[in-house]
């Protein structure tokens, strides 16, 4: 078991960010949302969510992170303060007149299957992910789930990134397959859930999906399987990413984005993109995702103590050691 140079000191990062100098190590693009989430046990309104939020809150625990997104005039200033206090570089977060993107969904009894009840795009409908100049030389890029055209547009703005990760969803696979395929060819790692991988590759077996998708260009494919962990397929073989068994999940929303965010943040913190560093970073992703599902919203990712994170990783490593 190897450990990272470890989570950076947040106070230092905060100060560095507040000086508004330098480029972030990680740039995350995606949505910021106010969610209405219904589980079999409770309902919450105006929960801080969105792929960008979850990913950035997780990534910023590991490396200086800049975000590219849009919020409406109704976006509560307390959340903006939270981003800044978490050491997140918000220069790329634009505030527009109008309402913030809103999503509402309900989880079934299994706390896994979910139905979307409503999606109000609002200011997100005209999202134009223009990167601040300082972001364009960031070495680690996470393209959260937005339209593949916008994801490609972001890539056109960055200068020789070291590692680009992209997420996508069934909507884009169904409606803009050609663009998704182009996107896949441009990134280092594609991150999907099992259903999306099958939809995109049009095959059932995940190994067969992996073989095809890797042939399109990326060196890494990560297939997320929720409570069952994830699988990394690369030229170096397969890595089975374990999931920490959460005793009482309260809200699974954002687990995948948290996983991706912690992954890219930890990879940036390690300063390497070797097979070992990628595996290490995926385990951090798994650890952070397990905290994510234990409560509502992304703010909890700011609350969990560094000691708890490290302890959980150690526990998880014990659970897979033979």
Interacting residues with a second copy (CB under 8 A):
1-2, 109-111, 204-208, 225, 228-229, 231, 237-240, 242, 245-249, 276, 279-280, 283, 315, 317-322
Q: How far is the CB of 189 from a second copy (least distance, A)?
A: 17
Q: How far is the CB of 6 from a second copy (least distance, A)?
A: 15
With respect to a second copy, which residue has the nearer C-beta, 125 or 240? 240
With respect to a second copy, which residue has the nearer C-beta, 169 or 287? 287
Q: How far is the CB of 261 from a second copy (least distance, A)?
A: 19
Q: How far is the CB of 117 from a second copy (least distance, A)?
A: 22
Residue pair 1/284 in contact (Cβ under 8 Å)? The answer is no
Tokens of 114: 């979910």
Q: How far is the CB of 1 from a second copy (least distance, A)?
A: 7
| DSSP H or E stretch at residue 99 | none
- Distance CA(261)–CA(62), nearest Å, equals 9
CA distances for 138 relative to 116, 131, 132, 160, angstroms: 34, 10, 11, 9
- Distance CA(130)–CA(321), nearest Å, equals 45
With respect to a second copy, which residue has the nearer C-beta, 141 or 255? 255
Bridge partners, 222 (sequence order): 191, 232
Q: How far is the CB of 256 from a second copy (least distance, A)?
A: 16
With respect to a second copy, which residue has the nearer C-beta, 3 or 128? 3
- Distance CA(80)–CA(206), nearest Å, equals 39
Residue pair 28/279 in contact (Cβ under 8 Å)? The answer is no
Q: How far is the CB of 284 from a second copy (least distance, A)?
A: 10
Q: How far is the CB of 40 from a second copy (least distance, A)?
A: 9
With respect to a second copy, which residue has the nearer C-beta, 1 or 117? 1
With respect to a second copy, which residue has the nearer C-beta, 16 or 203? 203
Q: How far is the CB of 228 from a second copy (least distance, A)?
A: 4
With respect to a second copy, which residue has the nearer C-beta, 120 or 194? 194
- Distance CA(30)–CA(113), nearest Å, equals 23
With respect to a second copy, which residue has the nearer C-beta, 154 or 288? 288
The 8-class DSSP code of residue 122 comes to G
Residue pair 68/29 in contact (Cβ under 8 Å)? The answer is yes
With respect to a second copy, which residue has the nearer C-beta, 117 or 319? 319
* Angle of the 255-270 helix axis to the 275-292 helix axis, nearest 10: 140
Q: Which residues of 30-63 are buried (b: 16+ CB within 10 A; e: fewer)?
A: bbbbbbbbbbeeeebeebbbbbbbbbbbbbbbbb
DSSP alpha helices (H): ranges in 4-162?
A: 10-18, 51-59, 77-85, 148-157
């Amino acid at each position: 078991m190897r450990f990272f140079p470890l989570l950076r000191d947040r106070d230092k990062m905060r100060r560095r960010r507040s000086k508004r100098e330098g480029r972030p190590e990680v740039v995350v693009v995606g949505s910021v949302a106010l969610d209405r989430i219904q589980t079999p046990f409770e309902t919450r309104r105006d929960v801080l969510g969105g792929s960008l939020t979850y990913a950035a809150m997780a990534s910023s625990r590991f490396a200086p992170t800049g975000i590219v997104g849009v919020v409406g005039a109704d976006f509560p200033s307390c959340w903006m303060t939270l981003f800044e206090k978490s050491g997140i570089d918000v220069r790329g977060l634009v505030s527009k007149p109008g309402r913030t993107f809103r999503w509402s969904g309900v989880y079934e009894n299994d706390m896994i299957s979910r139905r979307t009840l409503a999606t109000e795009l609002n200011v997100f409908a005209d999202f134009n992910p223009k990167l601040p100049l300082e972001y364009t030389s960031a070495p680690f890029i996470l393209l959260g789930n937005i339209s593949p055209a916008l994801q490609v547009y972001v890539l056109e703005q960055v200068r020789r990134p070291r590692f680009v990760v992209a997420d996508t969803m069934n909507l884009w696979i169904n409606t803009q397959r050609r663009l998704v395929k182009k996107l896949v060819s441009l990134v280092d790692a594609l991150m999907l859930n099992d259903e999306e991988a099958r939809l995109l590759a049009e095959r059932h077996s995940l190994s067969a999906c992996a073989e095809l998708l890797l042939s399109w260009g990326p060196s890494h494919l990560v297939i997320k399987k929720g409570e069952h962990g994830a699988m990394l397929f690369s030229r170096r073989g397969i890595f089975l990413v374990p999931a920490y068994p959460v005793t009482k999940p309260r809200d699974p929303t954002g687990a995948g984005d948290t996983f991706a965010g912690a992954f890219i943040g930890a990879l940036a913190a390690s300063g390497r993109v070797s097979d070992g560093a990628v595996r290490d970073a995926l385990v951090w992703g798994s650890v952070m995702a397990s905290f994510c599902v234990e409560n509502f919203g992304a703010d909890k990712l700011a609350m969990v103590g560094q000691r708890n994170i490290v302890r959980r990783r150690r526990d998880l490593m014990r659970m897979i050691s033979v």
